[in-house]
Structure formats: structure tokens, C-alpha cells
Amino acid sequence: MLVHSPRLVIALLSCLAIVSYGAPAKAQIPALPNLPDVPSPEEESLPSQEVLPEREPALPDETPLQIEQLPPDDVTGEITDVLDLEVCPPLADTSDVSFLATDIDVVGNTVLQTQIAEQVACYLGQEIQLSDLFNLRSRITKLYLDAGYITSGAFVPNNQDLTSGRVQIQVIEGEIEELQINGLTRLRQSYVRERLERAMATPFNQKDLERGLQLLQIDPVLARVNAELTAGNGPGKSLLILDLQEAETFHLSFSTDNYRSPSIGSAGVNLGLNISHPLGIGDSLTASYGITDGLNLYDATYSVPVNANNGTLRFRASNSDSEIVQDAFRDVGIRSETTTLSAGFRQPLVRKPAEEFALGLDFEWKRSRSFILDDIPFSFSLGPEEGRSQVSAVRFYQDWVKRSQSRVLAARSQFSVGLDILDATTNDSGIDGRFVSWLGQFQWIEQVSPKFLLLTRVGAQLTPDALLPIERFSLGGVGTVRGYSQNQLVADNAITGSVEFRIPVTKDPNKLQLTPFLEAGLGWNNQIPDPDPSFLASIGLGARWAVSPDLSVRLDYGIPLVDADDTGISLQENGLYFLVDYRPSF
């Protein structure tokens, strides 16, 4: 924390008076280099760096699928033991009545054509008996069963003239003739039907349906999915009955933490509300409010799926009002206002129960205004003009996550281009709203033993341009380098990494965990001087306590390994962070 200095306050006010006097000069404060300790309200109020969500190494639970139907006997007949599909079976003794199979026609199949042709080739042009024909029918049926088509099968039609050498085998491919959905109240049935349409395609495949049900099971709008498959009105036809339970419509969260910059008050309270599918179409509305001694933050997000593969439109609005509340500057009235509006679309291209790859495109408009003496526009750094900086950016990103029973791999890459539209900040300093940057994140979570979990994170922002403060990368605090104040270091470019262990200390591995960690980060600029220090590193120990299903507590203590100008008395400035999170169930 900065120490109160009357001389510094007087110098700052004098600088303001000089800039304000006479012609309408832009508040680029040429005297600013002489006041290196004046905090920039834009940088101090930068939100914590978003990190990839943590996922426990585990595969999604399998959705129970009760099957009360086997391939009908009148379709498949009795399946014989001559079913090694890798080799041609021995033919029956031709001493009995036999015929030369000159043409074997399999009709009714739309899949497995190559495999069926290979089985037919074992009999084509051979002297065979009727029993051989039944064996071929059984082998074709087994092809379907092995591939997951559990309600499909083949049979030999009656009244065929076998002496002609022309034989026909009929395939009946299974289908789900009706889907019955029970348990929905707010969510529309069309939401479920559209997501299972591909999984229920004809011919019906059990494996496809189970994958589709697993995707439903991990859908946040549903809490439980049970499925039953019963016989329908005819050979190969089935009825699928789904018993569903919707997730809670309203989700409330209350938390208190000290994750904000000490300059605007590190300790605060956060309130959150999520409304699940308010329109019954799988949409989501989230609103949150955060407050500290010097910050009021409002945020609202609405997302709505537009296709069965979870392509999603997302709209977000955020507004923050912050002021510097440190003793040395409290009376100077340094404050900022930041507004963010964004709209985007995210489309998964690969969507499996254990893996997802998606592309997204966002447009974001962001404006920040800084003031001194409460309402006089003032620029505290190069780039903003008269305290105002504005960005209109297109952001193209790629998300990937893959998990197994013992590992989670996740990555995110984002390319941003700042455009000269919608009154974006442009000037001759080279620090404005026209830029190109790349933001990357990688996460590796490994279950190194039945009890120990290893978390590794790497993040980076790289750009050839000098960025406005609202686009820079911040280091320090939870999410980057614990042991330092939040936003201790803000730079155009940055690289950060962390290694953390999760060590359970109770019989239930998720009840109480110790979390030793090692973290580091490096930042540098392209035009203005690099931050000092430019490198941060720390070691520390944390604890995570699941007090109840609704209440959790987190503590972290970091020891800085590189000295920084961080001499305040708050818990955060002394390396201690806390979070108490309460999410009541209804």
C-alpha cells in the first residue's frame, strides 16, 4: 500500500491545475513521469484473469438405458455358433440337397454394405444348403448386433425357388417409432427431441443413443436422465421412454473474498443469480453484483442455444464504477467508469461426452473513463485521451477439452483485433484501440495417485502493439501469482504458469484438501518502460474445505520470491487470500 504523502497530493493537484488552465489540452499529463506512484484506476480495476474451469478427472456418468427388447425371433431366428466373422465358415455336407448360389441378394440394408458383401462372398458361387443360408442370415444379424444395431436383423423370406441359384435375404433395420418424454415442466420437449434426433436416426444404434443420452446427462438444464427402450408395433420397431428431471430454475450464490486490488478495496461481497431456461428453450440468464470499499460491479449475461449441437448466442453487459481508496489518494477523488458490451456465437464442432472442440466469435465494445477530483476527466497513462479509452474488438477463439478417468486436458486460444470503428480511441502515440493480440491458456489436471491431484496451468498474452490499459494483462493475485497484490504487474505481454497439488486430509478426498503451489509470471511492454519488477514468483500453501454441499471455504497464503513495492497492511498485501462461497439449494 502507498504511504500517505501530503507533498504527493499537493503535487498531483498542482499538475491538474496546470493542465486544466488555459487552452483545452488533452489530459495526457506530461508531468506523470514525475509521479510514478499514482495508481491508474483503469489498471487497478482490471478484472481477474479468466482461467479455464477446473474439471475433475472422470468420465461422465453413464445414463441408465433399460432395454426390454431383443431382436425379434421372427427377424433373426436362432443364432448359430458359426459366427466367427473373421473367417468364412465351413459349408454343410453337400451330400444332402444343395444348390449352386449364383446370386445372393441382400435387401433392406442401408449400412454395413462392405461387411455384408464380405460375408456374402463366402457363399457366392458355392454349392450350399438351406442351413448355410441360415448361417449367412445369422452372420449378417451378428454384424448388426456387434455394431450396436440391437433391434436390427436379417431373415430368409419363404417361397424362394432355390434351384434357380438366386437367393434373397431380407434385412429389417430397427427404428424408434416413438419418443415419450416425461418429467418436463418448464423446458420444452422440442429441446430434448432436437438433441436426440441424430442419436435416434434409423437404423437405430444403441451406442449412438447412449452417447446422446450422456450428452443430455451433462447438460446443465437437466439434473437426471433415465431411459427405457421397449418393443414397438412391429419387427424392429421400438418405443423410447425418457424420465427427466429438470435442474433447479433459480441458482443463488453469495460469496465474500479479498480478490480485488487493494487500491479499490480488496475485500468485498459478491451476489449472483442464474435463471435456467427462462424461456424454456435451454437459455440462461445470469446476473451478478460485486462491491468493495471502492468498487461497484454489475454484470449480466444471456445465452441461448440456436441449434441441436449447442451452437449458442451470447450477450453480455457489464459496468463498473471504481475509486482509489488508499489513504494517500482518497481525498484526491481518483475514480474510473468502465462499460463493456459484447455479443458472440460459439459452435462446438466436436461434441462427445469426454471431449469437445468449439469455435467462437465475439464482438466487444469497451469504454473506460477516468477522473480526478471526482468528475474532472484525467489520463493517468499514455493512450487514453482526456481520461477516455475505447475499444471495439473482434475476438476469435478456440476451446478444447478432453478428459478421462485420470486426466483432464484443456486449452483456449483467442485472437483479438481492435478496429477503428464506433469511436474507438485513436491517436499518434501508438497506444490506442487499433491492435492485434493473442491470448492462450492451457490446463493439465492429472490424478497422479488415488489421493493426489496435480494441476498445471500456463497462460500468455502476446502482441506486437502497445495496448491501452483496459487491454493489458495483469499479474499478481489469485488466478496468476499468489503472494502479490491483485494487478501488481500490468503489461502488454505476459507469460504465467503455476503448479499446484491437491492433497486430501480426510477420508472423503473432496472434504478438506491442502494445496501447495508454485507460481510465476513475466510481463513486458512494447513502447512504454517495462514494469518494475517485471518478474514475479511465489510459493505457498492453500486449503479448500467443503463445509457442506452448499458452503465452501478457501484459504491461500503465498510467499513472494521477488521483492515488490507491496508494503500495505491488508491481508492480500501480506500474501493471504480468502473465499467463502455459499450456494443454497432449493
- The residue whose grid cell reads 500456463 is 458
Between CA 429 and CA 492 the distance in angstroms is 15
Between CA 475 and CA 525 the distance in angstroms is 13
Confidence at residue 79, expressed as pLDDT on a 0 to 100 scale: 46
- Strand-strand pairing, 355-372 and 335-352: antiparallel
Higher pLDDT, 539 or 428: 539
- pLDDT band with cut points at 50, 70 and 90 for residue 490: very high
> Is domain 71-172 annotated with CATH 3.20.20.70?
no
End-to-end CA distance of the chain: 42
Position 544 pLDDT exceeds 80? yes
Mean pLDDT, residues 149-153 taken together: 93
Confidence at residue 331, expressed as pLDDT on a 0 to 100 scale: 86
Beta bridge mates, 254 = 271, 582
**Whole-number mean pLDDT of the chain?**
87
Confidence at residue 424, expressed as pLDDT on a 0 to 100 scale: 93
Backbone phi, psi, residue 245, to 5°: -125, 120
- Let me know: does 248 contact 276? Beta carbons within 8 Å: yes
What the block records as the C-alpha cell of 511 is: 472434504
The full DSSP string for 100-136 is E--EEEEES--S-HHHHHHHHHTTTTSEE-HHHHHHH
How far, CA to CA in Å, does 95 sit from each of 87, 98, 101, 582?
A: 23, 8, 16, 82
Confidence at residue 460, expressed as pLDDT on a 0 to 100 scale: 97
Closest CA to 252 of 581, 544, 553, 580: 581
Closest CA to 446 of 481, 411, 405: 405
Confidence at residue 64, expressed as pLDDT on a 0 to 100 scale: 61
- Work out the number of other CB atoms within 10 angstroms of the CB of residue 505: 12
Confidence at residue 128, expressed as pLDDT on a 0 to 100 scale: 87
Mean pLDDT, residues 403-416 taken together: 95
Backbone phi, psi, residue 554, to 5°: -135, 135
Closest CA to 35 of 429, 264, 332, 477: 332
Find the range with the poorest average confidence among 63-67, 68-72, 104-108, 545-549: 68-72
Per-residue pLDDT tens over the stretch 278-336: 999 999 999 999 999 999 999 999 999 999 999 999 999 999 999 999 888 888 889 99
- The residue whose grid cell reads 493517468 is 380
Q: What is the pTM of this model?
A: 0.85
Confidence at residue 76, expressed as pLDDT on a 0 to 100 scale: 44
Domain ranges of the chain: 6-59+248-582, 71-172
- pLDDT band with cut points at 50, 70 and 90 for residue 10: very low
- Let me know: does 236 contact 173? Beta carbons within 8 Å: yes
Between CA 231 and CA 502 the distance in angstroms is 49
Between CA 353 and CA 355 the distance in angstroms is 6
- What's the half-sphere exposure (Cβ side, CA atoms, 13 Å) at 189? 8
- Let me know: does 330 contact 340? Beta carbons within 8 Å: no
Confidence at residue 566, expressed as pLDDT on a 0 to 100 scale: 67
> What SS3 string covers 246-272?
ECCCEEEEEEEECCCCHHHCCCEEEEE
Confidence at residue 129, expressed as pLDDT on a 0 to 100 scale: 86
Mean pLDDT, residues 355-381 taken together: 93
- Let me know: does 541 contact 557? Beta carbons within 8 Å: yes
Q: What's the fold here for domain 6-59+248-582?
A: Porin (2.40.160)
What the block records as the C-alpha cell of 123 is: 457363399
Report how far Cα 396 is from the mean position of its chain's Cα atoms: 15
- pLDDT band with cut points at 50, 70 and 90 for residue 84: low
Mean pLDDT, residues 421-426 taken together: 93
Q: DSSP label at 470?
A: G
- The helix (H) or strand (E) run that includes residue 41 is helix 41-44
Per-residue pLDDT tens over the stretch 131-143: 888 999 999 999 9
Cβ contacts of residue 112 below 8 Å, gap of 6+? Answer: 143, 144, 147
Q: What percent of the chain has pLDDT over 90?
A: 70
Higher pLDDT, 197 or 374: 197
Position 30 pLDDT exceeds 70? no
Between CA 268 and CA 508 the distance in angstroms is 31
- Let me know: does 483 contact 558? Beta carbons within 8 Å: yes
Q: DSSP label at 373?
A: T
Between CA 314 and CA 363 the distance in angstroms is 10
**Cα dihedral 102, 107, 109, 115 in deg (nearest 10):** -10
Mean pLDDT, residues 518-540 taken together: 96
